[in-house]
Amino acid sequence: MATWKDLDNESGSEKEEAEDEANVAVGLVATLTSEVKPDSDSEDENEVYSKIPREELIESLKELLTHFGLRTNELKDLKEKYVDLMKQQE
């Protein structure tokens, strides 16, 4: 498992790619935490996120984004089929 130090020692494009992935991950985590109810204890939530290894977080988010993309395509296909069926009904 990579550590923060290992990631800091990466070269050129690998480092840029890791930084890009980390920025996406941070953005998604920020989005998720901003949607949390105001009654919740944000310190506890930040502690939970800080315990997740960076690589695991990045891989999980990549997987979620892949599933989101697949579901978006499926929804687009279903919408097209619906529009076609509605046109046939007329």
- State the pLDDT at residue 90: 85
Q: Mean pLDDT in runs of 10 for the chain (90 residues)?
A: 56 67 69 57 62 87 94 95 94
Residue 3 domain flag? no
CA neighbours within 13 Å on the CB side: how many for 19? 9
Residue 6 domain flag? no
- State the pLDDT at residue 73: 94
Residue 1 domain flag? no
Residue 58 domain flag? yes
- Give the contacts of 2 (CB within 8 A, at least 6 positions apart): 53, 54, 55
Residue 82 domain flag? yes
- State the pLDDT at residue 81: 96
- State the pLDDT at residue 1: 45
Number of domains in the chain: 1
Residue 29: domain span: 12-89
Residue 43 domain flag? yes
Residue 7 domain flag? no
User: Which pTM value belongs to this model?
Assistant: 0.43
Residue 61 domain flag? yes
Phi first, then psi: give them for residue 79, nearest 5 degrees: -65, -40
